[in-house]
Each structure stands twice: as structure tokens, then as C-alpha cells.
Amino acid sequence: MQRAASFSACLSALGLFVAALACDGSDSAGARPAGERLYAEKGCVSCHGRAGEGSFLGPALRNLSTHWQREELAKFFLDPSGYVKGQPRLAELMKAYRMPMTPIVASEADRLVLADYVLGLK
């Protein structure tokens, strides 16, 4: 009897776990894949790495929310070099790389999705 009870408790815990996984799955079917897809399609990968870990062509994209708001980032993508001029931190960062970041050709909606994606990278 004791056993059966703990077995069924176990089963319902497993049910919750599966439900939690399913929720996570449906979340990632929303904003995340679109951001991930744009990040790959727009060539960010080639300078910032597959998961934003950085490379010799671009800095790691980590904890960006300490420096950026999403709307500001979406603007930065349009004209990175122009933006760097007014930002001592970015100008300093720029010195470590051979090429400036290329402007990103994308709609405002897509740039916002990209901004959300990189702001979420840890």
C-alpha cells in the first residue's frame, strides 16, 4: 500500500515534470527560435560565435542588459560604427578587433527580436 502510494506520487511528479517540459517547449517555439534564426541568418554567428561566446572578430555577448535597452540595441544594429563614436566603452571594445561591426539590414521588428535574443544570452 505504502509503495503504491509513493509510486503514484512519483507518477504525478513525473506528469508535472513532463508538463513543465512541454511548457518550456512551447515557449521556445515562440520568441527564441525566431531570435536564434535571425542571429544565424544575419551573420552574427561569424563574429560573435554560435552562442554569443565571442571570437577574434567580435566580443562575447554576455550580460548585455547591464549596458543596453532593447530599443537602443535595435538602433545600434543599423549603424554600429556611428554609434560606437559616442560611447567610450564601445570605442574601447572596438580597439580589440580588426573590423568594425557591419550594419545589420533588417526590419525594426526583426532588430527588436534580435535585441531580445542577445539580451537573453548568458
- For ligand HEC, the binding residue among 35, 110, 113, 118 (CB under 6 A) is 118
Residue 55's DSSP bridge partners are 58
Q: State how far the Cα of 68 lies from the Cα of 51, in Å rounded to an integer.
A: 19
Torsion angle of alpha carbons 86, 92, 98, 100, nearest 10°? -20
Q: Can you tell me the distance from the alpha carbon of 18 to that of 93, in angstroms, rounded to the nearest whole number?
A: 44
Q: Looking at residues 23 to 82 of the shown chain, list those that interact with ligand HEC (rule: CB under 6 A).
A: 39, 42-44, 46-48, 57-59, 61, 64, 67, 73, 77, 80
Binder among 54, 97, 112, 120 for ligand HEC (CB under 6 A): 97
With beta carbons less than 8 A apart as the criterion, state whether 117 and 38 touch.
Answer: yes
Tell whether residue 101 is a contact of ligand HEC (CB under 6 A).
Answer: yes
Contact residues: ligand HEC, CB under 6 A = 39, 42-44, 46-48, 57-59, 61, 64, 67, 73, 77, 80, 84, 90, 93-94, 97, 99-102, 104, 114, 118
